[in-house]
Chains A and B, each alone.
Chain A
Amino acid sequence: MAEFVLELNGITKTFPGVKALDNVHFRLKPGEIHALMGENGAGKSTFIKIITGVYRPDEGDMLVNGRKVELKGPRHAAELGIAAIYQHVTCYPDLTVTENIFMGHERVEKGTRRLLWKEMHEEAQRLLDELGADFHSRMTMGALSVAQQQIVEIAKALSANAKIIIMDEPTAALTVRECEQLYAITERLRAGGASIIFISHRFEDMYRLADNVTVFRDGKYIGTWGVHDISNKDLIVAMVGREVTQLFPKKETQIGDEVLRVEGLGATGYFADINFSVRRGEIVGLTGLVGSGRSEVCQAIFGIGPRDRGKIYVEGREASIRRPADAMALGIGYLPEDRQKQGLILNWEIAGNITLPALRRLARMGWIRRKAEWSVAKMLAEKLGVKATGIFDLVGSLSGGNQQKVVVAKLLTSELKVLILDEPTKGVDVGAKSAIYEIIGELAAQGYGILLVSSEMPEVIGLSDRIVVMREGRITAILDRSEATQETILEAAMDDSTRETGASA
């Protein structure tokens, strides 16, 4: 057996205008889990697409099991035993789970080439059962949760008999409990002889799983270390290229009067009996496993989602919120979870995105006053430190962190009292994360009441003054800053059956 199952030397890939990868190296030993880290835009995704044959490198060699190969396409990579589980799950939502698992390597009868449905359904079900899945192979893929879809992707890699498995940010959309499940599955894959490249922004993933870590920055190879041979701080320096001093800059704020209170809020099938309040200058964390109803509560408060019971009070007065416009008129702003789909118009420039909610105020007799619009946009973009050449850059060209700043800037165009932030740092790299934390702290200091929804435990604990924990549509705990720890939150977030699997690790 060769010393490395996969070896890439001097890989360079140029796209029109950008050098996505510049002389990059990578070595994967048999049976190892190798973490690949780097900020967004470091070239990780391009790198994977080269390994899986989607892109061809301009320069450099690739060796599989010590033999030099030149991939002809994705199918060729699959034949060599390379499988990838992509960041945004690449499934076929309209097809069944079985078809998703076998797409590209279907079982067919010899001679007639008829598909062997029965055999495939059975094999798929066997794989799913073995992975501990709680769904059926004949179900439609689109009906599954993200975590369940990821299990299907893993089953797909298994059914293709993959020996080199690439996981591109598999934990990004998962809750703590689902992550633990994924860790366990990943470790078993390794025990079964697979070598795994694990890409993630989370240090926790790396420490739990990986043997070695390789860092890319701006398309360049920075280095490879043993996971325990490099300190957290040095790793951040390697990724960001500078030192991130303090991850959670907690500003002293003056907590004032109550700005938002909900009483007995409920929506059939989603949540029930929700009571909590947010005060001026206070950050209230709202957390729980995915599917616990956090986002649904926020959307109900903002008038997007359904709500059939309960009352909402803004500054002590009962509010009738039927649609987002009502909520905004009352001073409530909402930062959506999916910034690309719900928060931004990607092929518009920064200025147009920022001022979109405020066009009425920036217009005179139906005509937009361009100068006023641009000055507002410029002021807010500077205030939030959006990194771009100017306010006329297309939003789609910005990095994840900077896009998020633009969405926050959008909120600040209106006179708001309460900000609901739904997963504000999702898919954002370390450097940009701390910038967003700083912005959140500053907003609280300015007197906004903030409701912060997040799955990331350190984020919730580090930023919040109080933490509301939900489980299966109900509030199970409201914790003060002093009593909130990973353990107390997890205990409230998980019921007895899930606690066993989740907390045992």
Chain B
Amino acid sequence: MADKPMAQQAAQAVPSGGAVRRASLSVHIMRFRELGLLGFVVLLALLVQWRNPSFLTLENINDLLRNAAILSILALGMMLVIVTRGIDLSIGATLALSGMITALTVSANPGMHPMAALLLGTAIGLACGSLLGWFVARLGILPIIATLGMMNVFRGLTFTISGGKWVSAHQMPDSFTGIATGSILGINTLIFIAIVAYAVFHYFVNHTRTGRQIYAVGSNPEAAVISGIPKERLLWLVYAIMGALSGLCGVLWVAKFASAQGDTAMGYELTVIAACVLGGVSIAGGVGKVSGVLVGSLLIGMLNNALPLLNVSPFWQTAIQGGIILLAVLANVWVKRSVDRNHLLRRRI
């Protein structure tokens, strides 16, 4: 027998007066959360524009986006990792390793196609991420410990491979540095790659089975196992994706700054995590949206861009950045609380 008649019969058991309450409050809160953050970004932009009119020029915005592109791509991968209740501290090191190997390869073979360089970097990152995923998913090592350990391993490898030396601009062919300065369809390549990454992630996260199951694992790992979701494989996948993106960004980073160093992107993982948290990704797992991560990355990118324009002393810039990040998070909490409070007042007793 099909499930239909069964359910229909079940229906007669209780008066079906329900389904009147259509729109749900929680849905509104979630929408409001991102709107609040976006409002904060707009407000900040207007404020900076008022102090320095060169902020909202096409040139500066292009500059801002180009600088935020790498951060925003990494934040996508980090979002998935955090959604599964994990964290990846190794991405700065993975990025440096892939950047260094790619730079060395390119300087040895100047005729190499830029696309091949991108693929090489991504492959290195994928290998690093898969190894990490194996540690976390198969061996069950806590993500913070596994990634902390591998961070040091990857960083050490970078120094060993380069012999402690830099690969600088004059060793790289123009075709390679062109990755960061060139454009596709009139859009800067870095920005173009970020846009593609966001489009792919949006589809992956919202419209594929695997994407949703990653959220299920983060929301309730035990239930996921009971309902037959391949938790281990998904964890593995998440770290592999993170690694691949770090590898890709390694190439972009080296091309952009035209130099590969042993200490490239040291500590950058914390900026990426900050962008995710700003964008509403919950460290407790299960919650995080592609649009939120985009706004979070843009906010950090904006701070990086705007503070020098305001002639803020470089010594103060980091402190101010931290303060604004805390402020944005506090504002989010405050908005959520007042919404909850209004909800209580409306309840009839």
Contact = CB atoms under 8 A, between A and B. Distances in A.
A191 interface: yes
B7 A131 contact: yes
Contact of B18 (A93, A104, A128, A268): A128
B209 A108 contact: yes
A54 B226 contact: yes
Contact of B3 (A135, A161, A473): A161
A95 B21 contact: no
Interface string A83-121: 010100011111100010001101010000111010000
B286 A127 contact: no
B1 interface: yes
Given A93-B286, A140-B27, A501-B15, A158 B6 contact: yes
B319 interface: no
B139 interface: no
B338 interface: no
B340 to A, nearest CB: 10
Contact of B10 (A73, A103, A189, A271): A189
Interface stretch (A179-187, A235-243, A408-416): A179-187
Given A73-B228, A114-B208, A185-B13, A135 B7 contact: no
A344 B173 CA distance: 65
Interface string A151-174: 000100011010000000000000
A488 B238 CA distance: 57
Contact of B9 (A75, A90, A188): A188
B5 interface: yes
Given A92-B223, A161-B2, A472-B349, A135 B24 contact: yes
Most buried by B among A76, A91, A103: A103
Contacts of A132: 11, 13-18
Interface residues of A, number: 67
Contacts of B286: 92-95
Contacts of B215: 92, 94-95, 99
B11 A269 contact: no
* Interface size range of chain B in the complex: 35 or more
Nearest to B285: A94
Contact of A115 (B17, B207, B219, B287): B207
A192 interface: yes
Given A113-B208, A192-B6, A185 B229 contact: no
Contacts of B229: 103-104
Interface in B197-211: 206-209
A143 B26 contact: yes
B265 to A, nearest CB: 31
Contact of B219 (A52, A73, A94, A136): A94
A74 B30 CA distance: 33
A177 to B, nearest CB: 10
A471 to B, nearest CB: 10
A487 interface: no
B216 A95 contact: yes
A129 interface: yes
B237 to A, nearest CB: 16
A193 interface: yes
B10 A129 contact: no
A193 B20 CA distance: 30
A130 interface: yes
A500 B15 CA distance: 10
B3 A125 contact: no
B333 interface: no
Contacts of B349: 269-272, 293, 472-474
Contacts of A93: 219-220, 286
Nearest to A114: B207
Contacts of B345: 268-269
B19 A128 contact: yes
B170 interface: no
Given A113-B209, A128-B18, A271-B349, A74 B6 contact: no
Nearest to B211: A115
The 10 closest A-B pairs by CB, nearest first: A192-B6, A269-B344, A184-B13, A132-B14, A75-B228, A473-B349, A94-B286, A134-B18, A90-B223, A130-B11
30 contacts: A54-B226, A74-B225, A76-B228, A84-B226, A90-B226, A90-B227, A92-B220, A93-B286, A94-B219, A95-B212, A95-B216, A95-B219, A95-B286, A103-B213, A117-B207, A129-B11, A130-B8, A130-B11, A132-B14, A134-B18, A136-B23, A142-B26, A143-B24, A158-B7, A185-B10, A185-B14, A192-B6, A194-B6, A269-B345, A501-B14
Interface of A: 52-54, 73-76, 78, 84, 86, 90-95, 99, 103-104, 106, 108, 113-115, 117, 125-136, 138-140, 142-143, 154, 158-159, 161, 181, 184-185, 187-189, 191-194, 268-272, 293, 472-474, 500-501
